[in-house]
Chains A and B, each alone.
Chain A
Amino acid sequence: MSKTIVELKNVYKKYDDGFTALKNISFKLQEGEFYTLLGPSGCGKTTILQSIAGFTEVTSGQVLFDGKKINDIPANKRQLNTVFQDYALFPNMNVFDNVAFGLVVHNAKKDEIQTRVHDALKMVQLEQYANREISELSGGQQQRIAIARAIVNRPKVLLLDEPLSALDAKLRKDMQYELRELQQNLGITFLFVTHDQEEALAMSDEIFVMNKGEILQKGSPVDIYDEPINHFVADFIGESNIVQGKMVADYQVAFLGHQFECSDAGMRPNEPVEVVIRPEDLVITTPEKGKLQVKVDTQLFRGDYYEILAYDKAGNEWLIHSTNASTDDAIVGLTFGPDDMHIMRYNETEAKFNHRLESYED
């Protein structure tokens, strides 16, 4: 079991205008792990980073670093570093001086500055750019310099605020691999902010899904994808089909006039629930063999699969990922197994949700 390096305990943040940006945020970050804060724009991701980095004061609650409360410690005395969304490189200095800044302000010796800047630039594969001006770098290079500058002080925790959002799709993918590799090589904790769910799923050890100043669910990418706690999370993480249903009994759910065997339990009999089925878990067959019958509306070729949009008789929309094309306006059957369904209760708290899952999963 590794050690907790950063902890937030019941943190609230209320701005001067009365707006509450963070509501009861609590989490722990372990040493050497990759964490992602994921949520839509304006949900408070940057505010969380700023309260950890010390650019903003929390209204109540505790921010702990290495077991010590750091609420009152100014940002320049906190031993963690930040990569900013707009990079915030210093335009009046060249690459070397930018990276050296954190060492210079700590009065490091010249030869130490020399080697450590060199090492940091090597980490981001830009050693030969030391004498360049910032204005002579591409966006991706600036982004890496921002990372080099932030790791030169050897922080235990690196906070990254949407560092990839300004890059084009291809470069973004490359940087995802590089960042993940860098994090593993350095062995330090990353707290990464993004509103891109694919990025979060690809890179993280653990994801915190946020909405409106609250953390809705914490978990590994697989857990969050397969077992979202509520409608918002299911919808935000990946694509999903969500229909209303009723939990008839443990392992028995009814929706669209049929009763199905499922793998969820621990709810009240006949409790109204929502059922999630991911598009890739739906298999197209003949109408007779299908558990549900739908009419194909449109289909899009996505390269490695077809995205098929269909409607059932009740008018619910069904999104299906299939390796084979279907025919427009055809009536087809859909099948899925008990494990392909995930049942969500209305207004279940994270604690209760986790407790219920533990009660029947082993």
Chain B
Amino acid sequence: MEDKASRTGKIYITIVFLLLYIPIVYLILYSFSKGTTMTNFQGFSLKHYGELFADKRMLAIFLNTILIALLSSVCSTIIGTMGALAVHNAKRRHERETLLSLNSILLVSPDVIIGASFLIFFTALKLPLGFWSVLLSHIAFEIPIVLLLVLPRLDEMSPSMTNAAMDLGASPSQILSKIVLPYIQPGIIAGFFMAITYSLDDFAVTFFVTGNGFTTLSVEIYSRARQGISLEINALAGIMFIFSLILVGVYYLIETHNTGNGAKKSIVEVTDR
């Protein structure tokens, strides 16, 4: 019984993953095709990759996208973590609940609405649309995600731990840097990577707030796809896929590094005695 159930489970999982990955694999496979359409595979070639790397505009957009993703997630991780600390330290219950619901509203409201509201906001303030408007809006929609990932770690921390640090003479900044931040670090890292993912992913918000001179991959691919897809896009998909694999790998490495023993840094540099 047990065995049968677990075998069915395995088959089910395999099918689900196959279904999820087949389109991506299919897409990437055709990036190696000699032909120019995805109707039939015409022998191996790297020519689409060649085209892609010759396409200066595409490369610039690729770098822009990565730059936006990294910058926005660094900023949103810092702001989101501070926000989580503020919610956690909120003295009154309703204060905390108000802050949390405001956060959740941002998280659940459709991207289109958020994008449109940013557009109205930026034009009202007469801010030019472009790099900065995209960066700011990415930071803004990533903050709630970071906050939501950091807060549970904070709430899980026993209050007597900060009391103990204070009791031993630590100042508030020492408590933050030596006790609280190391403790919530896994949440912060998860938040950072989530923020990168959301930033790379985003189409709707970016679509609203990009100006003439600036665009990101998702928006560019969208506008090119409307004119008929070229296999250069497939090559790009291949590169993006590898990029996300690297991201996952890095995240995994950091995670295991942190939970493994011996990786902890001593607060006193004299542990060998």
Where the two chains meet, the residues of A that have a C-beta atom closer than 8 Å to any C-beta of B are 53-55, 74-77, 81-82, 84-86, 88-94, 96-97, 100-102, 104-106, 110, 113-114, 130-131, 133, 149-150, 153
Contacts and interface: CB of A to CB of B under 8 A. Distances in A.
B105 interface: no
A350 B21 CA distance: 79
5 contacts: A75-B166, A92-B183, A93-B267, A97-B266, A131-B271
Contacts of B268: 96-97, 100, 104, 110, 113
B166 A96 contact: no
Given A75-B163, A76-B169, A105-B171, A92 B158 contact: no
A75 B167 contact: yes
A82 B164 contact: yes
Identify the interface centre among A74, A75, A76, A106: most chain B CB within 10 Å of its CB.
Answer: A76
Contacts of B169: 76-77, 102, 105-106, 153
Contacts of B179: 90, 92
Contacts of A88: 158, 160-161, 163-164
A81 B167 contact: yes
B205 to A, nearest CB: 36
Interface in B137-196: 158, 160-161, 163-171, 174, 178-179, 182-183
B175 to A, nearest CB: 8
Given A96-B271, A110-B270, A113-B268, A101 B170 contact: yes
A75 to B, nearest CB: 5
Interface of B: 158, 160-161, 163-171, 174, 178-179, 182-183, 261, 264, 266-271, 273
A68 B158 CA distance: 31
Contacts of B261: 133
- Counting from the closest, the 10 A-B pairs by CB-CB distance are A102-B168, A88-B160, A88-B164, A92-B182, A105-B170, A75-B166, A84-B160, A76-B166, A82-B167, A88-B161
Contacts of B164: 82, 84, 88-90, 149
Contacts of B267: 93, 97, 100-101, 104
Identify the interface centre among B261, B266, B267: most chain A CB within 10 Å of its CB.
Answer: B267
A90 to B, nearest CB: 6
A77 B166 CA distance: 9
B166 A55 contact: yes
Nearest to B185: A92
Contacts of A82: 163-164, 167
Contacts of B266: 93-94, 96-97
B168 A153 contact: yes
B160 A86 contact: yes
Nearest to B164: A88
Contact of B160 (A85, A113, A150): A85
B167 A53 contact: yes
A84 B163 contact: yes
Given A88-B161, A96-B266, 19 more contacts: A53-B167, A76-B169, A81-B167, A84-B164, A90-B164, A92-B179, A97-B267, A97-B271, A104-B268, A105-B168, A105-B178, A110-B269, A110-B270, A113-B270, A114-B270, A131-B271, A133-B264, A149-B164, A149-B168
B229 to A, nearest CB: 50
Nearest to B261: A133
